[in-house]
Amino acid sequence: MDSPTMAQNTFSVIEKEINQWWKVMVEEEMASAIDLEKKIAIEKNRYHEDIPSITVICDGGWSKRSHKHSYNALGGVAVVIGAETKKILHIGIRNKYCYICNRCNSLGITPKDHECFKNWTESSQSMESDIIVEGFLKANDFGVRYMHFIADGDSSIHAQIMERVPVWGKFVQKMECANHITKCLRGNLENLVNENPSYKGKGKLCKRTRIRIVSAVRCSIRRRSSEKNKTLAIKNLEHDIRNTTSHIYGDHTRCNEDFCKVKQTLDKNHSNGAQTDAVDDNDDDNGDDDIFLQQSEMWTQGTSLQAQEQSRGSYMLSNSDLQSGMRQDLALLLNNVARKARSLLGNFTTNLAECWMHMRTKFDGGKILNHCNRGSWHTRCYATALRFNKGPTWSPNVWEQATESTPGAYFEKLYEQRKQCINNNNTTKDKCTIKTKPMEKKDVINKRIKYQESKTTLWKRIFAGRNRYCV
């Protein structure tokens, strides 16, 4: 278009002003969300020492991709979400860097008065627990207590809450995220196979078997969570998890009848003629080059309701396929999960917090760019909080509240179209899913391309020979 762009200083001034608007709006939204959670707790008669008790979902994230490596992000953020209202009750942002301070230190001069966004000097890993504890401490200002919180497997958060929150912190109970538990189990199974290559192969701990073990554990958590007798459900869940290895490898003598389909059929027919839903156990451990596809599969493989129900049936394995060392290693992993049966009961997940983290990556460019030099990191986190609490049309609403003026027609139309697009996508999800063609691997694609090229070359030679004879 050959038009001049906005200067960096102008952009920074506008961004700073917007940051102040959004920060005020976020605080107002969180206060109203806490009041609504408090009313719901009073209506449902949930109290702790005559103070309304609330269940929350907690999770944290960082400004750069650091999954299982390089925990050195400059910025971190964590949220506390109400389980009833599904809105953010607290958001905390940490930053380990300030461009002005760092520049002045490198030049050996004293920095001038400025708004410093550096508010953290400790490790990046400790940001999440500090922010969540801060949210629990601020709950006292609103006359509520977060007595139950749902989080992933990070045990340091619970320990920090019990230590730093006075009076009622030691009574807070943590509920484990079922998705994170099964994902960690799958990761431990993958590490077990990599450390013991003899476990690989048909009839052993192949990929299909590992997925089926995870599916059986996830199915047991889901089914036991729906039982009314919680004490009995905890015992049954603990037994189901520990018995997973025997169930998968064909030994159904100790299976609970209400879980194992094979046991149900055997007891009904008094014979071994039970119908099975056995599947092939060929090992397909060929690694994928795409790390993002691997991470996605760790979350999705074996988690569908169909896969969970199939895990209750029979499998083309026998108890003789189990090596003594493999049985002991599997028992050790499953015992670690079974110890958390009490906190797993309820089938809780941190999906709301994961949804917020997904929204945030859209605002900060997918963690590709560094926004932690000044206040851009804070601004984008505030924007995500408003989007999460107010919905798809958040921006026109915030504009109207901050400026006390009506936004333009095209501005409102844009966000209405986005809202309609989201509604259409949600409607489409309810329809029957169409089975997509599996992705071809690189070696298969290269073979197909070479075959097509050779076929084309052959036809060219044939036509060239015909033309020569015709002449």
pLDDT at 131 > cutoff 80:
yes
Mean pLDDT of 148-153: 90
Q: Give the lowest-confidence range in 178-182, 222-226, 242-246, 450-454.
A: 450-454
pLDDT bracket for residue 431 (50, 70, 90): low
pLDDT value for 303: 63
Q: Are strands 173-176 and 145-151 parallel, antiparallel or unpaired?
A: parallel
- Residue showing tokens 């009574």: 171
pLDDT tens-digit map of 192-230: 999 988 888 777 888 888 889 999 999 999 999 999 999
Q: Which stretch, 4-8, 164-168, 252-256, 449-453, has highest mean pLDDT?
A: 164-168
Helices (DSSP H) in 81-126: which residue ranges?
Answer: 99-107
The pLDDT value given to residue 321: 59
pLDDT band at 188 (very low <50, low <70, confident <90, very high): very high
Residue 104 has a pLDDT of 92
Residue with more model confidence, 188 or 3: 188
Lowest mean pLDDT across 27-36, 38-47, 57-66, 262-271: 262-271
Any idea what the Cα angle at residue 34 is, between residues 33 and 37, rounded to 5°? 90
The dihedral through the CA atoms of 257, 258, 262, 264 has a sign that is positive
**pLDDT reported for residue 48:** 94
Locate the domains of the chain by residue range: 15-177+348-390, 179-344
pLDDT in tens, 228-272: 999 999 999 999 999 998 888 888 888 888 888 887 776 666 554
- Nearest partner of 119 among 381, 468, 328, 363, judged by Cα: 381
Alpha-helical (H) ranges within 301-433 are: 305-310, 324-338, 341-344, 351-363, 376-390, 394-403, 409-429
Does 432 or 347 have the greater pLDDT score? 347
pLDDT band at 276 (very low <50, low <70, confident <90, very high): very low
Q: How confident is the model at residue 373 (pLDDT cuts 50, 70, 90)?
A: confident
Residue 291 in this model has a pLDDT that exceeds 50? no
Give the residues across from 61 on adjacent strands: 77
- pLDDT score, position 441: 62
SS3 state of residue 51 = strand
pLDDT in tens, 379-421: 999 999 999 999 988 999 999 988 888 888 998 899 999 889 9
CA distance 381 to 385: 6
Determine the average pLDDT of the residues in 121-142. 93
The SS3 assignment for 22 reads helix
Work out the pLDDT band at 279, boundaries 50, 70, 90. Answer: very low
Using alpha carbons, select from 328, 319, 333, 327 the residue that is nearest to residue 249: 319
Q: Is the pLDDT confidence value at 454 over 60?
A: yes
What mean pLDDT comes out for the span 60-69?
A: 77
pLDDT over 90 percentage in the chain: 45
Strongest mean pLDDT among 25-34, 68-77, 304-313, 452-461: 25-34
Q: Which tops the pLDDT comparison, 70 or 237?
A: 237
Please name the residues in contact with 122: beta carbons below 8 A apart, sequence gap of 6 or more. Answer: 130
Taking phi over 0 as left and psi of -120 to 50 as alpha, with beta for the rest, 182 belongs to alpha
* Band of pLDDT at residue 433, cut at 50, 70 and 90: low
Q: For residue 153, what are its two tokens?
A: 């497997």
**Alpha-helical regions (H) of 122-206:** 127-138, 155-164, 178-195
Confidence of residue 460 (pLDDT cuts 50, 70, 90): confident
At CA 19, angle to CA 17 and CA 25, rounded to 5? Answer: 110
Residue-level pLDDT at 425: 85
Alpha-carbon gap, residue 226 to 149, rounded angstroms? 20
Which of residues 142 and 327 earns the better pLDDT score? 142
If you average pLDDT over residues 86-101, what whole number do you get?
Answer: 93
Please report, for residues 206, 327, 435, 441, the alpha-carbon distance to residue 438 in angstroms, rounded to integers and kept in the order given.
Answer: 20, 33, 9, 9
